[in-house]
A and B are shown apart, each in its own frame.
Chain A
């Protein structure tokens, strides 16, 4: 197999055994990027010189016999809403096209410390608002499995980079499915950790009460490895949980005998592609074969999650994005006075979807509508959480499709926001409840990857890894890579 399609932990083993150097591995990835990037367009910014410098430093440290982490020397990519000191962080927006952060995000610092090598910053839907990466203000990213299709979004660049062999792993962010849905579309593993498991410090905020950073990886072991590196308490994020980080690698056991798995029927109803449903049902049968007890259950408020989400998330976003005004950083268009400057700057700086959500969120919070929209949505959020709480009294995990469909064609849903929003039907409830969920490849429909979503209760990432790992080991054939 090509080096660039090794999993991160396989690559790490080669590095540790000194069968390959970090510089060689990085060159390999940079070469691959050169070959396919024109077609895939996964990156907004590439950092080849910095990557090679960093790789050289890792090799030197290894030669000195220093004790290096499991990711030392492994090339990776970051979604371009994670702040990197000295490297521009654009959120794929004209607003931040030339903004260079003076600080590193918590996760970036953690990965630097772990010795992972940054090869570039990945394209995304502008400010993480979208499900196809078509809302990037720069260019759309293509799905490596079919270049006429979208990679999903908003972490589409991160998913595509991993699927195309342009990075061994990537980080994304997930507010309503932005890691899991593109992971599903691109046939990679994607994890949204429990809200509070990973610090959000340095993640450019979209909807603060929903945002969470997570890995996109080639396999489940990599996913556990990367989460291990980035999880943990951060005093700079008041919403990060001060809980010990378990040994996630130890959770990778091939054993799900006797586990109780709930299959919520609402995720298999109208709006779901029949072929996708059928592939997911086969995967569930497989889990039964492996010894789990699978049973249909119900999360009755599921249908309310999407409308509630599209009030909560835009409301928070309208406030989070107020700071982009052309005063202290970022894009500015001059105006005849301050208000004129603000309005011109924001008209030009933001794209259509961002403006649409700012409008929606501003309206939902405005005088006279707060109770009817925002407060109502927060109450519905409580009902959604309760559904899950009840389900987890009975089941260890819940499984669903990650997305109602396989990757759709570029342009197919542009201009129909509601149709685009439906793409996150299965992932949004998880964010509303703050739960951890993983998407793993579980088969193909129309020759395109299908993702299986596994959901657990808060801070139970270990059981996600256990189920996912068991499934992956039993069905290794889904780990295929696209011809580009």
Chain B
């Protein structure tokens, strides 16, 4: 039988407000444990939460970008459960009246466009971080509450996704939108963008849902894709063996590349939601919504179309470049200084991204600002350096952060275009390799390449290749 997967994603994104959701502690990442805490986010007796306006504003912005309707009245609720990373043993969240509902975003997989529903967007607070003792026999865990109280948006998709590819495309698109909105750092490795998936399978063509499992701990696009592929396979093979799928929560094990059941001894979930009595409801009026709407930036789809139209980029290039706001910003800045869009795009999608990924950096963190890339491309265009040298220089620029011209000059990498100087080297090479010269004259075309290579070696790559070719041919 042929099966199809039914996937819905629950995405948690940390909002990049300066202070936490309900207190004034910093949200900065990476501080020493428990140094960004106060009585409120530690849940000390007697404290009260106060809503961060910016969190709500970021929430509205995101909801609008995801084509949602903002609720005229929403409220916060308490979600009650015990866990040591949760200082109050309840999480301030939103239950029956979330910030926004009923939106969508569009994805494209293998050239097919698809609209994926967004069921709801709600605000909540993050929990702290648990670290487990690592030495053998360690019987303790440690809690750091720096992250406790950082504002989160939970974005719940409809079960509209049918494959790991679609799920990945959805996540990539959502991440791009969030970046364009500048509401989150979206760093999956730092946990500021997290994803849980609800997965089930059913015979293709069926309209009823199968039993679903929830897979947690999907902390990269790759993990998402692999975990979904694994889980779908697992469910199908269970069904094919005539076994039942158990509705449960599972986690992705990155090491073993499997999902495993999180059998907890905890009782069935009963979160006992009720309205948070310490916070009053929100009435988000049209005025506020329209004001936020007017600040919405150009989103990935619109920008992609614009790059195609204004710069004549191929669809593929435009999609890759606009997949990251920072990359698109970089592109446009570079093109403004070096107006050959296709050249810039080629460099960005090629060596630039390779070097960036090798360093694990985001485009905005690149040690090579767009000005420097433009300078490099200019040097190459005007013939000061060859493409090969340009590639080397770019690596040097990534390594040292220095400018292109500076490196070229310091290392004497300027292309040799002086005919007399090159002629002398060409003749030296010809004299040193009489056998090869002979081969060539007998019709062995390849021998020319060897000779060019020798000239390049002599000049440490600085010779103008066209000129070398020309000079060699004249003499042969």
Residues of A within 8 A of B (CB): 81-83, 89, 91, 96, 99, 101-103, 105, 200-205, 207-209, 235-239, 315-316, 318-319, 322-323, 325, 327-329, 338-339, 342, 362, 365-367, 370, 374
Contact = CB atoms under 8 A, between A and B. Distances in A.
Contacts of A201: 46-48
B82 A328 contact: no
B274 interface: yes
Interface string B54-84: 0000000000000000000000001010101
Contacts of A204: 45-46
A238 B44 CA distance: 17
B465 interface: no
Contact of B280 (A239, A316, A338): A239
- The prevalent SS among residues of A at the interface is loop
Identify the interface centre among B89, B141, B280: most chain A CB within 10 Å of its CB: B89
B270 interface: yes
Nearest to B34: A328
B274 A238 contact: no
B399 interface: no
Nearest to A330: B45
User: Lowest 8 CB-CB distances: which A-B pairs, in order?
Assistant: A322-B89, A208-B277, A365-B272, A209-B277, A204-B45, A202-B46, A83-B46, A323-B88
Contacts of B230: none
Interface of B: 39, 42-51, 78, 80, 82, 84, 87-90, 141, 143, 145, 265-266, 270, 272-274, 277-280
Contacts, number: 105
A237 B46 CA distance: 11
Identify the interface centre among B49, B50, B51, B273: most chain A CB within 10 Å of its CB: B50
Contacts of B45: 83, 89, 91, 96, 99, 101, 204-205, 323, 329
A102 B39 contact: yes
Nearest to B90: A319
Contacts of B141: 338
Nearest to A365: B272
- The prevalent SS among residues of B at the interface is loop
A370 B80 CA distance: 14
A91 B88 CA distance: 17
A94 B184 CA distance: 43
A322 B50 CA distance: 20
Nearest to B43: A323
Identify the interface centre among A89, A207, A329: most chain B CB within 10 Å of its CB: A329
A259 to B, nearest CB: 33
Contact of B87 (A208, A323, A342, A365): A323
Contact of A367 (B47, B266, B270): B270
A315 B265 contact: no
A325 B89 contact: yes
B270 A319 contact: no
A374 B90 contact: no
Contacts of A318: 80, 272
B363 to A, nearest CB: 40
A319 B80 contact: yes
Contacts of A89: 45-46
A339 B46 CA distance: 24
Identify the interface centre among A81, A89, A202, A327: most chain B CB within 10 Å of its CB: A327
A423 to B, nearest CB: 24
B167 to A, nearest CB: 30
B279 A238 contact: yes
A322 B90 contact: yes
Contacts of B43: 323, 328
Contact of A370 (B46, B48, B274, B278): B274
Identify the interface centre among B44, B265, B270, B273: most chain A CB within 10 Å of its CB: B44
Contacts of A96: 45
Contacts of B44: 83, 101-103, 328-329
Contacts of B47: 201-202
B473 to A, nearest CB: 80
Identify the interface centre among B45, B46, B49, B145: most chain A CB within 10 Å of its CB: B45
A342 B42 contact: no
Contacts of A91: 45
B82 A103 contact: no
Nearest to B265: A339
A103 B23 CA distance: 15
A238 B75 CA distance: 13
B129 to A, nearest CB: 14
A325 B90 CA distance: 12
B82 A236 contact: no
A96 B45 CA distance: 9
Contact of A238 (B87, B90, B273, B280): B280
A17 B80 CA distance: 56
17 contacts: A81-B46, A83-B46, A96-B45, A102-B44, A103-B39, A204-B45, A208-B277, A237-B50, A319-B80, A319-B272, A322-B90, A323-B88, A328-B42, A328-B87, A365-B273, A366-B270, A374-B274
A225 B277 CA distance: 29
